[in-house]
Amino acid sequence: MPNQFDILIKNAKLRGSESLTDIGIAGGKIVSVEKGLGGEAGVTVDAEANLVTESFVNPHLHLCKVYTLQMMDEDALTAYQGEGMGKAMNAIELAARVKEKYDKAWIIENARKAVTQAARFGNTHIRAFADVDSKARLEGVKALIRAREEFKGIVEIQVVAFAQDGWVRERGTDKLMREAMELGADVVGGIPWIEYTEANTQQHVKEIFDLAMEFNKDVSMLVDDAGDAGLRSLEMMAVEAIKRGWHGRALAHHARAMALYPMPYFQKIAALLKQANMTVVSDPHTGPLHARVKELLAEGASVCLGQDDISDAYYPFGRNNMLEVAFLASHLLWMTTRAEMETLYDMITVNAARAMNVKDHELKVGGNANLVVLNQPNVLEALREHSAPRVVISHGKLVDQMKMESMWNQ
């Protein structure tokens, strides 16, 4: 007689509940959440009164650049993180040097290592950026598409074709971006603030949306990522999304100049973000300025957190550990009350999934069985420890942690 459940989790603590419950999983779905579940199961996991939640989601990772810091000097790192981020554009130009060495053969090796880390830390969904320009060509896109296929069913990767060095200023990028979408990239990515003029910034935004609509793809743009209160690419992006009807299909990343906005302009931006149903992805640990996360939340705008970088020209650390990202954000954003910690947890699970248009990423009957069984009984302790989960479930199957550990150590 077949098992009633593929996996049965016993004695689980759910967020917002003091009592224990059981969770039944079958066919990749959560089919039962109730106390005292009976029935046969292929695998039974005892959570031992520890927290069980949705798995972690990372909506921002430059996966083609992971572990490249050792391939270059620290000039870009110093420029990006110094002097009020006034040299951010110069930092990007300095960081571009490594792309002269781009080859999909070593990029895929680094990507595998980073995605293996993601699986170990319960991070089952990643929006992964691959630079597309005259230096990077399509090497990063090809490598990340390969990683997407290799890790399917363990870590779902959305590949972003990313015009890192500009659309207008970097000649030929438009053709390469089209080729990237034809190869199978999932998201159209831009960085409009890096253009030299406001007119070119607007053109960058417009033509990114043109390409996204042609291929029916979502949009991700790094906006206003410098210490200049006069940058306006976030506003341009939100207005374009509204005009195109691309509501809920565009993510705005960084928006660090928001820290310098006067309050009336900030409130205008918050209203536009809500109208566009556009989420801001903040990475406060990777730069000295960051989006005004608490104020955005107070205005009713959507915000989530991303890893951003792992040991590259902009940030020397990172493990694809979203609990660690939230732990750092708690300090940097002064979100330290229990209610704020719960919000941070949403920003690396359900809110991040919603921002990436990952469907049914909820711990409820009918939700997809992407779950973590932690070693801590509550969110406070989970953030304090930010350790790897005891069990990771992806697409209704246990992730083989010994295999992931072995791949990491290769």
Q: Counting Cβ atoms within 10 Å, is residue 155 exposed (0-12), middle (13-18) or buried (19+)?
A: buried
What is the reported pLDDT for 345?
98
Supply angle C-alpha 156, 162, 167, rounded to 5. 160
What is the reported pLDDT for 1?
43
What is the reported pLDDT for 35?
94
H-state helical runs in 167-247? 173-183, 198-215, 233-244
How far, in Å, CA of 113 to CA of 125, rounded? 15
Nearest Cα neighbor of 226 from 199, 194, 184 is: 194
Domains of the chain: residue spans and CATH: 5-55+361-409 (2.30.40.10), 56-355 (3.20.20.140)
φ/ψ (deg, to 5) at 242 = -65, -45
CA torsion sign for 308, 313, 314, 316 is: positive
H-state helical runs in 44-103? 75-81, 88-95
What is the reported pLDDT for 76?
66
DSSP state of 170: S
What is the reported pLDDT for 403?
82
Nearest Cα neighbor of 306 from 245, 251, 242, 234 is: 251
What is the reported pLDDT for 409?
73
Tens-level pLDDT at each residue, the chain (410 residues) = 467 999 999 999 999 999 999 999 999 999 999 999 988 999 999 999 999 999 999 999 999 999 998 887 777 667 667 767 566 567 567 667 777 889 999 999 999 999 999 999 999 999 999 999 999 999 999 999 999 999 999 999 999 999 999 999 999 999 999 999 999 999 999 999 999 999 999 999 999 999 999 999 999 999 999 999 999 999 999 999 999 999 999 999 999 999 999 999 999 999 999 999 999 999 999 999 999 999 999 999 999 999 999 998 889 999 999 999 999 999 999 999 999 999 999 999 999 999 999 999 999 999 999 999 999 999 999 999 999 999 999 999 999 887 887 776 76
Number of helices (H), then strands (E), belonging to the chain: the values are 14, 16
Task: Take residue 204 and report the two structure tokens written for it.
Answer: 């960058």
Task: Take residue 171 and report the two structure tokens written for it.
Answer: 């000649």
Q: At what angle do helices 233-244 and 263-276 cross, to 10 degrees?
A: 30
Pairing of strands 187-190, 156-162: parallel
Q: What residue type is 103 in one-letter code?
A: D
CB 246 within 8 A of CB 278: no
Supply angle C-alpha 212, 218, 223, rounded to 5. 90
Q: Mention every residue, 6+ apart, whose C-beta is less than 8 A from residue 281.
A: 59, 60, 251, 252, 253, 254, 303, 304, 305, 306, 355
How far, in Å, CA of 85 to CA of 314, rounded? 12
